[in-house]
Amino acid sequence: MIQLDVLIIGSGPIGIACALECNKQGWNYLVLEKGALTNSLFNYPLNMTFFSTSEKLEIDNVPFISNNPKPTRNEALEYYRRVTTSNQLNINLYEQVKSISKNKNYFEVDTSKDTYNSKHVIIATGFYDIPNLLKVPGEDLPKVFHYYKEAHPFTLQEVAIVGASNSSVDAALEIYRKGGHVTMIIRGDTIGERVKYWVRPDILNRIKEGSIKAYFNSEIKEIKETEITITTPNGIQTVANDFVVALTGYKPNFQFLKDAGVQFSEDEKHIPHYNPETMESNVEGLYLAGVICGGMETHKWFIENSRIHAKRIAKHIMDKIEAVTT
């Protein structure tokens, strides 16, 4: 069985930041990632532009040079890849963690390929793996997507976009400009206030002029092969439809955390218990980092405000090591 000082789950920007801190301390560590490097970023839409500027996406003071005021998905992938390879970080890709259990002073971590013993575990898995489902008849049809990659497959098609967040608005505008016929179904009475400030006027104008149809205060009731049924303030509406792109948000893998012993707040926010000064969860030696700390409040933590988590965790581990040796 492989023995480690620190095992990090997730190779996103925050997982990479944690690995950099372990590198500095000379600890025996390993990052495990079930998919590609920065897997969530890799699965973002091809033409996505970040809300943050490049300097706010930097980790460990490594400069992130972008040709644009706001960096793109491809620039971010290149940046984090270069940080990883230049620092020769210890990362195993395409190795999924199956379970975490604590045995006295060590965690036993079983994966799809091996078993590890580690003194400390850091979970930095983000929230992009489990979509919030609509829970309506027909959602399991192959025409329904909960992730959006690019507009080309939707050219000349009747496409329903569910949601009014940044991802929904970006998809609606891009599909419209690639020749798709877009209908937005929005639960609230307006486009989300958190939509990127340079994009929001664009979508509002397209809706106003009728280029993109929008049903506000509305929800999908049923999805069929060639149409969808919508509940609207004016009653039930039936709309011709070829594809549904339901970008209604995502949530962390709460069951994975629960199985590891992490406790949660009892309200709908479902925030995991951790010490904000050290990022240690209620399980001693098990740390949380990044977006996963927000529970259902997935808008609370971003790369730019959770980069500090890596340093807090490293300091706490070092303080514990020094306490034992003195």
The enclosing domain of 181 has a CATH number of: 3.50.50.60
Reference 37, options 13, 60, 20; nearest CA is: 13
Q: List, in order, residues 6 or more apart from 204 with CB less than 8 Å away.
A: 191
Percentage of the chain with pLDDT > 70? 100
For the beta carbon of residue 74, count every other beta carbon within 10 angstroms.
13
Q: What domain count does the chain have?
A: 2
Place of tokens 């620190």: 6
9/105 same-domain check: yes
Amino acid at 132: N
Q: Is the predicted pLDDT of residue 195 greater than 70, yes or no? A: yes
Mean pLDDT (whole number) for 13-24: 97
**CB neighbour list of residue 47: distance below 8 Å, 6 or more residues apart:** 72, 73, 150, 174
Q: Specify whether 202 is located in the same domain as 240.
A: yes
CA–CA distance, 132 with 130 (Å, rounded to integer): 7
User: Which pLDDT does position 326 carry in this prediction?
Assistant: 62
User: Residue range 170-199: average pLDDT?
Assistant: 95
Question: What CA–CA distance (Å, rounded) separates 118 from 114?
Answer: 13
Amino acid at 229: T
Residues 43 and 65 both lie in one domain? yes
Q: Which of these, 221, 236, 247, 243, lies nearest to 162 by C-alpha position?
A: 247
Closest CA to 230 of 242, 213, 218: 218
Q: Is the pLDDT of residue 127 over 90?
A: no
My answer on whether 278 and 165 are in the same domain is no
- For 29-72, what is each residue's pLDDT tens digit? 999 999 999 999 999 999 998 988 999 999 998 999 998 889 99
Q: Are residues 84 and 139 in the same domain?
A: no
CA distance linking residue 13 with residue 290, whole number of Å: 9
Kindly report the pTM of this predicted structure: 0.91
